[in-house]
Amino acid sequence: MSWGLILLFVTTACKKTEVVDSADFTLYYTGMTDIGPSMTGIISSPSFIGGTPSDFKIVRITLDDVAYSGGGFEIDPEKGEISVRETAGMPVGLYKLTISCSANGIQHEFADIVEVNMMKPVPDGIAVVPNKLTVDYGDVIDATSEVELPTAQVTTDGDHVSIRKYEIAQSDFSKYFDISSTGLISIVRGDNTLVPGKYVLSLKLTTGASGEDEGIFENAIEINITSKPLALTYAPASGKIEEETALSGKTTYTSTVPVLKGSPDDLVYTLKSVTPATDKIKIDPQTGVISVAQDHGLVAGEEFQVSVNVKNIYSAEGVDFENVFLLQVVEFIEPIQGFAYPNVQAIQAVPFDNDLNPGFKGDEVRFEFVDLPAALQGNISIDLQGKISAERGNTIPIGSYTVRVKATNPKSEEANPTIASFTLTVSANPNFFTFVRYGNNLGLTPAENYANQFRIAAGTSTAGFSSGVAETDATVSLVYEISQVHQAGGASINSTTGEITLGGSNPKTSQCAIIMVTATAGKGTPSEYSVKTPIFFHNSEPVNSVLVEYSPFVFQVNPNSGGHSANPVITGVSDMSNFFMDYRRTFNYYNFFGTHMDGQPSVEGSLMRQLFKNYADSKGTNPNYGSKDALSYYSNTGNLSLPLAYVDPNTYSVVVNPNRWIADGEPANGTMIGQITFSSDLTTINNGSQIFPIVLWFDTKF
């Protein structure tokens, strides 16, 4: 079973209170959730701030917050890598692991730093009909196509509890598919990163009224995105073969395996042409590998352009790819000599390159990593010339690693490959820090648990309102910059102190403003590091003598679990029994740290547009991107689980429904500000007084 089909990966960091001996050392694990029975997997070694840790131990394990003494978890004492194995028969529930380690001669303990959610399989009798879909790639990739894409429905037999919540288990490709609140599985149209192929989806389903009724439906549906061959790429796109002489002896050549964009079913590769013509160049019909056997008689200076025809089940005649490979004949191919890399001293989260030593020689060399440590996978890459690199913001944990690289060419001995190794040492970044806090003026404590938010009291001018940095864990000076997100025109920041000053016109009466502050340590240096922090302001002025104040007015909510905001304090209303509030219009979403597009529902490709469509799908209607219904209480009184969010008519708190703020398999990571109207007459609520009193801030860490 592939982990990628049924696992969600989330970053889990310990809280300060979890460090027993020192606040100067912190571990960060990548946690693993939502696994099914009989599954196995690895939780990679942790990253850390402070000294290099060792002597890792699992101190205790709890299952649903009760001590657990069974097996299933092992930890590497030196690396801290955690293995999850022999899970068959393990009780379902949420496992929390407390880990200890030693660093700088001090023992540290991190309570509940790793969480693993062992889920039971869904009950028998649940099915997806049909459980296989086939669709043409061209119809999926074309955002303007009017061809109706196929769908599938999750069903149950008559003896089962109705399914309350449907989710696609997250994977590398889950964003290409969607599931509605009624269990309708569909294909997302217009994403040009999709490639043809077969995609097997697992589902996470809730069949009862609580999280205890969640289960994994493994391999629920196969979706085949079909196409004829679309592109063929050899990397490298050229190669050299040595002519055969008394000195060189017999010579051969083999290309790399090409990358095909297109359905892989019944592939057949043939040579369309070789120019100039020769019968010495061959192609493997199954793999597309181009080769030249011994006794070829090719002469130095000759060059051959190779064109390839590729057939699959969706292209009986095949597709021609002209001049996709060039073979050159040379007098001599240099054997591999002096293959070595220097050791690298890198800095946490800073990019680096490592080139081959200057004495390296060799022609037609291919490079690949050998037994690359798990912490480096996805963080470093190697190019066709053997250069190894890591990008800015890489997540390589502090520590030392041995990197091994194999080099081969036509003169290599397959039984005795040439391997070079070097030591990569990642040191703490002196500019690394994790937060900048401005606090709040609402009396909310502890301040770090709330957004940086400030209320401009009624009767107070916004002009000149200012706030400085209250706290940061940066140990070096910072450079501060701001960008305007919403209703923040005229705001400025002191680049040295970080003090923010508002202009006189924003935020407008009874509205909120958002500014994004970027604090940078070591700006302009190789070890530059930045942290972004959103800051919120509410201009609390009454509208038609009515004042509505939420505290906090920034509702931090996990889009997966939803929740209720604080109840507002409402003044200026004589009869609360005849006071009505409802979301109305101007639903602005601003992405913070995710990938969704900003904008209102009218903006093509925006998160809000997709969410409005999901809402319409759940009701079996056509989307109305100008309607308030997706966030209205009064439009959904028959089923309050349908809207994305709504204002509770009894408490006036804002209710965010779980799993409604997800598009392309990714939860929202940003804010939504929408207009709310109020009235003393429900029949006039749509034309009531207009306010923007609350910001919804979505992040799965809340």
What DSSP designation does 606 have? B
8 Å CB contact between 567 and 653 = yes
* Contact by Cβ (8 Å): 218, 36: yes
- 344-426 architecture in CATH? Sandwich (2.60)
pLDDT score for 158: 59
Domain 542-698 in this protein, CATH class: mainly beta
Please count the other Cβ atoms lying within 10 Å of the Cβ belonging to residue 341: 21
pLDDT for 30:
61
Count Cβ atoms below 10 Å from residue 488 Cβ, excluding itself: 22
- The bridge status of strand 344-347 relative to strand 315-330 is unpaired
List the structure tokens of 339: 């293959």
Pick the CATH number of 231-330 from 3.40.50.1220, 2.60.40.60, 3.40.50.150, 3.40.1390.10: 2.60.40.60
- The CATH number assigned to the domain with range 126-226 reads 2.60.40.10
Predicted local distance difference test score (pLDDT) of residue 626: 93
Q: Where in the chain is the domain with CATH 2.60.40.2730?
A: 542-698
Q: What is the pLDDT of residues 522-536, one digit of tens each?
A: 998 888 889 999 999
Chain segment 424-482, per-residue pLDDT in tens: 999 989 898 889 999 999 999 888 888 799 999 998 888 889 999 989 999 999 999 99
DSSP H or E run through 536: strand 529-539
Residue type, 332: F
CATH 2.60.40.10 domain residues, the chain? 126-226, 344-426
Yes or no: say if 101 and 79 are a contact pair by the CB < 8 Å rule: no
Rounded distance, CA 626 to CA 606, Å?
Answer: 14
- Buried b or exposed e, range 326-336, using 16+ CB within 10 angstroms: ebebbeebeeb
Q: Where in the chain is the domain with CATH 2.60.40.2710?
A: 3-118
CATH of the domain spanning 3-118, picked from 3.30.70.20, 2.60.40.2710, 1.20.58.110, 3.50.50.60: 2.60.40.2710
Residues facing residue 406 across a β-bridge:
368, 419
Q: Where in the chain is the domain with CATH 2.60.40.60?
A: 231-330
**From the DSSP assignment, how many helices (H) and strands (E) are in the chain?**
3, 56
pLDDT at 208: 60
Residue 684 neighbours by CB distance under 10 Å: 11
Neighbours of 117 (CB within 10 A): 18
Q: Three-class SS of residue 106?
A: strand
Our measurement of the distance from residue 11's CA atom to the centroid of its chain's CA atoms, rounded to an integer in Å, reads 11
Query: Which is nearest to 519 in space by CA: 491, 502, 499?
Result: 499
Tokens of 144: 């303007």
Q: Supply the DSSP string of 221-244, one letter for each residue.
A: EEEEEE-S--EEE-SSSEEEEEPP
Q: Which residues contact 17 (CB under 8 A, 6 or more apart)?
A: none
Of how many residues is the chain composed? Answer: 702
Residues of the chain short of pLDDT 50, as ranges, are 1-23, 209-211
3-state helix, strand, coil in the chain (%, to 5): 5, 45, 50
Q: Across 47-196, where does the E strand assignment appear?
A: 47-49, 54-63, 66-67, 73-75, 82-84, 93-103, 106-118, 120-121, 126-129, 132-136, 152-156, 165-168, 177-179, 184-187
